[in-house]
């Protein structure tokens, strides 16, 4: 299960850095209960998340500083990542809750925030 989630997360990461909106859309659970809290937006429902992705500029590459992927049973996982974008003094944090569905692993909740780099 951990290997599956890690592989799916890697697909997400590649799609994010390359602004592959179609792949990103496919990785979020298509449901009104799906939530994404970003650095400047709160998005409720798959359609709101999809509209946000279509309208924003590509975020570009980021360096993963630390990544923790934890599975709970065979159908539930959480990913937590610290990252930094080139030229930024801030550290980003991303948490995602993943659910195994008949269509594969899907993000049902996501949160992204920024903080000042320590030390």
Block means of pLDDT (10 residues each) for the chain, 119 residues, are 98 93 97 97 98 84 95 98 92 98 98 87
SS3 81: strand
Is the Cβ–Cβ distance between 76 and 98 less than 8 Å? yes
Domain ranges for the chain:
2-113
Q: Please tell me the predicted confidence (pLDDT) of residue 76.
A: 99
Instruction: Measure the CA–CA gap between 3 and 116, rounded to whole angstroms.
Output: 32
**pTM exceeding 0.85:** yes
Q: Please tell me the predicted confidence (pLDDT) of residue 119.
A: 60
Yes or no: domain 2-113 corresponds to CATH 3.90.230.10? no
Q: Please tell me the predicted confidence (pLDDT) of residue 117.
A: 78
Is the Cβ–Cβ distance between 106 and 98 less than 8 Å? yes
């Amino acid at each position: 299960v951990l290997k599956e989630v890690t592989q799916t997360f890697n697909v997400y990461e590649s799609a994010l850095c390359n602004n592959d909106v179609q792949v990103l859309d496919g990785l979020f659970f298509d449901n009104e209960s799906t939530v994404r809290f970003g650095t400047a937006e709160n998005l409720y429902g798959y359609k709101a998340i999809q509209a946000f992705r279509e309208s924003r500029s590509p975020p570009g590459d980021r360096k993963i500083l630390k990544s923790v992927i934890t599975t709970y049973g065979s159908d539930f996982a959480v990913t937590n990542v610290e990252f930094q974008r080139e030229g930024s003094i801030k550290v980003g944090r991303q948490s995602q809750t993943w659910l195994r569905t008949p269509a594969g692993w899907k993000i049902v909740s996501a949160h992204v925030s920024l903080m000042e780099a320590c030390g």
